[in-house]
A and B are shown apart, each in its own frame.
Chain A
Amino acid sequence: MDHPQTQMIRRKFADSQVILIDHYKEVFNRPAQSFAAQSHSKKLILARKEGTFLHEGSQYSDGFDYQQFFYASSIMGCLYDCDYCYLQGLYPSANTVLFVNIEDAFEQLRPYLGKDTLVATSYDTDTLAIESLTHQTSMWLDFADQYENLYLEIRTKSANIKSLKSITLNPRVTLAWTLSPQEIINAYEHATPSLEKRLGAVVEAITLGWKVRLCIDPVIYTEKFAILYTELIEQVFRTIDPEAIEHLTLGSFRMSQSHLRSLKKLRRSDVAFYPYVVRDEMATYSEAIETHILETLLAKATQYLPKERIRTWQRQS
């Protein structure tokens, strides 16, 4: 309760109902919660994290060949509500837990910073989406400023980059925007900014001098996939100078089978019920569809970018 971040956040919610709890798990991990029902009325849980903030990057994501790749988990849950998100399978609750003691994450990271290290700060959530509330991205950027071996990836769907305007540029920080066709945003990415707004934020970040990566990942395969996603790439590069971006990442939907099972129980979205191929506990599209997705998108993307600046995620066979 006395932590400065707790006090700052409570001031922003001066009129909100406050319930005192002993441990975040007594609310977040309750049995008999409905993720789907809670999604429409999310609560904010402020807590102190006891264990490690840092976790090794998983096989589902790209570590960009750094010597070490971690993701930091300072928030559980997300402001946004994407039907394909593995958080629905990972967590029993749609509420958000915000760990206020982010300074402990920095302490835990310090011993590793003798080598080039990539830290994804918004792997388990969209930190930039709630930056005005938490200021955690700013704190990460201040910390990264002090360590030459520390590289950050801040992945987002947010259109709010106001906080970045007052921060000194750091060439070791990459802002990565997840982009989807508007039709896919409407269908599956609830409560997220429109494509137009995301592209506006990308343009603004580039103008400010930030290093930017674009991620068309996950690609959701539908009958209109080829039209929707090739039009997306056209729209992106009508708006953004290809020379101004570091990479374009392409990847089709994939998820661990256990998370997919949990997603099915929610019965919220067709994404969970597509007949994916499961191998080694990973569910994704059949090899033929996956190849079709990547070939179609690569053919379009290479009209704008050299192949070496396009990164693709594909199941290792």
Chain B
Amino acid sequence: MIYLITALDAEARPLCEYYRLKRDTSLPYTLYRNEEIVLVVSGMGRTNALMAVSALLGWRIPEEKDILINIGICGAPSEYRIGEALLIHQILDGDRRYYPDILYSHSLRETSMRCVDVPQSVLSDYPVDMESSPIFQAASRFFKLHQMAFLKIVSDHCTPELVTKEGVIELLRSHVNSLDTLISRLSAVQKQPPLFSTDERNTIEVFKTHFTKSQGSAIDDALTYFRLRNKGEFPPLNPLIPNSKRERSQLLEELIATLTA
């Protein structure tokens, strides 16, 4: 699943159109989704972002292959072009700093970003937004650092009063391709297929119920060793389980020896 977070409805609209997202009423937030993507509109500012992301990720807990992208507009110093897409590698929030891991190649301009409490009318040293820090803090409880990205589009040179809803829609619309590319790059980083199929995992779990917890761990280790060495199908795990503790231990010993030979 791809989790998209925007602060504003205007930021979400072009994405909903492009990805054909449908409104979902499962949460008390503006939520859109299709089979692959879920998008939440958090509302502006620190508290809104923190609560919306926590609610979204608590409602649908991310899996290992999932990613999260915070996309939206930002103010920036004049050396950043209006309409330029920025990939954030450092979020500065008071004394705290946060670092999403960028482990993929890309053609976006990378920069630090300062997360602030109110729209800025005075030029800062870095681009500024109001949600990146709380989104990072909430999401990093659920995601590894390389599963998250912060894509910001420069809307103004710290003249927030000039930013219009139509302008925001247009800025985001002009960068749906940037988002698309980012999604595929980010998704490609964590391609570690599961070692066992669901059926195999179920069989293993049933088999382990006949043994103690530490014996169960030894079974897991031996099967993982066997699979990582690409030895194909592992031997059947459904022999008759002896009643005696000693015979069960003997059976286990033989199984581990076979798997790790």
Which residues from chain A sit less than 8 Å from chain B, CB to CB?
17, 19-22, 26-27, 30-34, 36-38, 40-41, 223, 264, 267, 269-270, 273-275
Residues B229 and A270 in contact, CB atoms below 8 Å apart? yes
Residues A273 and B225 in contact, CB atoms below 8 Å apart? yes
Q: Decide if the interface of chain A is mainly helix, strand, loop or mixed.
A: loop
Interchain CB contact (< 8 A) of A37 among B89, B103, B112: B103
CB of B80 closer than 8 Å to a CB of A: no
Residues B224 and A19 in contact, CB atoms below 8 Å apart? no
Output the least CB separation between A84 and chain B (Å).
Answer: 13
**Residues of chain A within 8 A of B260, CB atoms compared:** 274-275
The number of chain B residues with a CB under 8 A from chain A is: 30
Interchain CB contact (< 8 A) of B89 among A17, A26, A38, A270: A17
In chain A, what residue has the closest Cβ to B95? A22
In chain B, what residue has the closest Cβ to A264? B221
**Residues of chain B within 8 A of A32, CB atoms compared:** 140-141, 143-145
Q: Within the assembled complex, what's the spacing in Å between the Cα atoms of A189 and B228?
A: 15
4 A-B pairs closest in CB distance: A273-B225, A270-B228, A41-B103, A34-B144
Given A38-B103, A267-B195, A275-B260: A19 and B90 within 8 A (CB)? yes
**Residues of chain A within 8 A of B97, CB atoms compared:** 21-22, 26
Q: Within the assembled complex, what's the spacing in Å between the Cα atoms of A63 and B102?
A: 40
Q: A34-B144, A273-B228 are in contact. List 19 more A-B contacts (CB 8 A).
A: A17-B89, A19-B112, A21-B90, A27-B99, A30-B145, A34-B101, A34-B145, A34-B146, A36-B192, A38-B103, A38-B146, A41-B102, A41-B103, A270-B224, A270-B228, A274-B225, A275-B222, A275-B256, A275-B260
Q: Within the assembled complex, what's the spacing in Å between the Cα atoms of A39 and B144?
A: 14
Q: Within the assembled complex, what's the spacing in Å between the Cα atoms of A27 and B97?
A: 9
CB of B110 closer than 8 Å to a CB of A: yes
Residues A33 and B224 in contact, CB atoms below 8 Å apart? no
**Residues of chain B within 8 A of A20, CB atoms compared:** 112
> B140-185: which residues lie under 8 A (CB-CB) from chain A?
140-141, 143-146
How many residue pairs link A and B with beta carbons under 8 A? The number is 69
**Residues of chain A within 8 A of B104, CB atoms compared:** 41
**Residues of chain B within 8 A of A264, CB atoms compared:** 221
> B192-234: which residues lie under 8 A (CB-CB) from chain A?
192, 195, 218, 221-222, 224-225, 228-229
Which residues from chain B sit less than 8 Å from chain A, CB to CB?
89-90, 97, 99, 101-104, 110, 112, 140-141, 143-146, 189-190, 192, 195, 218, 221-222, 224-225, 228-229, 256, 260-261
**Residues of chain B within 8 A of A36, CB atoms compared:** 192
Residues B99 and A30 in contact, CB atoms below 8 Å apart? yes
Residues A275 and B218 in contact, CB atoms below 8 Å apart? yes
11 pairs across A/B with beta carbons < 8 Å?
A20-B112, A21-B90, A27-B99, A30-B145, A33-B145, A33-B146, A34-B144, A37-B103, A270-B228, A273-B221, A274-B225
Q: Within the assembled complex, what's the spacing in Å between the Cα atoms of A17 and B107?
A: 12
Q: Within the assembled complex, what's the spacing in Å between the Cα atoms of A223 and B259?
A: 12
Q: Within the assembled complex, what's the spacing in Å between the Cα atoms of A275 and B254?
A: 12
Q: Within the assembled complex, what's the spacing in Å between the Cα atoms of A89 and B37?
A: 35
Output the least CB separation between B241 and chain A (Å).
Answer: 20
Residues A269 and B228 in contact, CB atoms below 8 Å apart? yes
**Residues of chain B within 8 A of A40, CB atoms compared:** 103, 189
In chain A, what residue has the closest Cβ to B227? A270
In chain B, what residue has the closest Cβ to A33? B145
Residues B225 and A33 in contact, CB atoms below 8 Å apart? no
**Residues of chain B within 8 A of A33, CB atoms compared:** 101, 144-146
Q: Within the assembled complex, what's the spacing in Å between the Cα atoms of A84 and B235?
A: 27
Output the least CB separation between A36 and chain B (Å).
Answer: 7
Residues B224 and A34 in contact, CB atoms below 8 Å apart? no
Q: Within the assembled complex, what's the spacing in Å between the Cα atoms of A19 and B93?
A: 15
Give the residue among B89, B140, B143, B146 with the most A Cβ atoms within 10 A: B146
Output the least CB separation between B143 and chain A (Å).
Answer: 7
In chain A, what residue has the closest Cβ to B142? A32
**Residues of chain B within 8 A of A26, CB atoms compared:** 97, 99
